[in-house]
Amino acid sequence: MTICIVSNGHGEDILASELAKQLALEHEVVALPLVGEGTAYDRAGIKKIHSQPLLPSGGFAYLGEIGRASLPDCLRSSKSKKQL
How would DSSP label each residue in the chain?
-EEEEEE-SHHHHHHHHHHHHHHTTTSEEEEEESSS--HHHHHHTPEES--PPPPTTSSTT---TTSS--HHHHHHHHHHHHH-
Per-residue pLDDT tens digits of the chain, which is 84 residues long:
899 999 988 889 999 999 999 999 999 999 999 888 899 999 999 999 987 766 665 554 444 444 455 556 656 655 554 554
What is the structure's pLDDT at 63?
Answer: 46
What is the structure's pLDDT at 2?
Answer: 94
What is the structure's pLDDT at 62?
Answer: 46
What is the structure's pLDDT at 67?
Answer: 44
